[in-house]
């Protein structure tokens, strides 16, 4: 279950926004950017960050059912194997389809 942003996250985000505003004002004041150039630069930067953020969807596969020999053993088989009461089948007796 995903949680929302907590108080510390909001404080860090507010501090980052304040630093960005102060830095943008300094860049405009010293003549490195015009206001519209800075706005365009920030818009492109925010767009790249938004595209790069991962989505918060489910990461579990939708179809995770295992079939055949790869399926996990039943509880009785696992307990018998743990006690050493099973005999593995030899590989030379097995037949594999081509």
Which residues have CB under 8 Å from 28's CB, separation 6+? 34, 35, 38
In a domain, 20, yes or no: yes
Distance CA 26, CA 20 (A): 10
In a domain, 18, yes or no: yes
Q: What percent of the chain has pLDDT over 90?
A: 16
Range of the domain at 15: 9-52
- Which helix (H) or strand (E) segment holds residue 37: the answer is helix 35-52
In a domain, 89, yes or no: no
Return the DSSP state at 29. Answer: H
- How confident is the model over 60-95, as pLDDT tens digits? 666 667 666 666 778 888 888 888 887 766 666 667
Distance CA 44, CA 48 (A): 6
User: Does the model's pTM come out above 0.85?
Assistant: no
The count of domains in the chain is 1
Tokens of 63: 């179809």
- How confident is the model over 1-33, as pLDDT tens digits? 556 668 888 899 899 989 988 998 998 999 988
The reported pLDDT for the residue numbered 29 is 92
| Residues 25 and 35: beta-carbon distance below 8 Å | no
């Amino acid at each position: 279950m995903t949680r929302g942003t907590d108080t510390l996250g909001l404080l860090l985000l507010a501090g980052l926004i304040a630093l960005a505003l102060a830095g943008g004002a300094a860049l405009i004041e010293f003549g490195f950017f015009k206001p519209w150039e800075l706005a365009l630069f920030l818009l492109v930067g925010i767009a790249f960050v938004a595209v790069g953020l991962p989505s918060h969807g489910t990461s579990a596969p939708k179809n995770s059912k295992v079939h055949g020999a790869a399926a996990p053993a039943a509880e009785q088989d696992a307990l018998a194997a743990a006690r050493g009461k099973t005999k593995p089948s030899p590989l030379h007796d097995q037949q594999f389809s081509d």
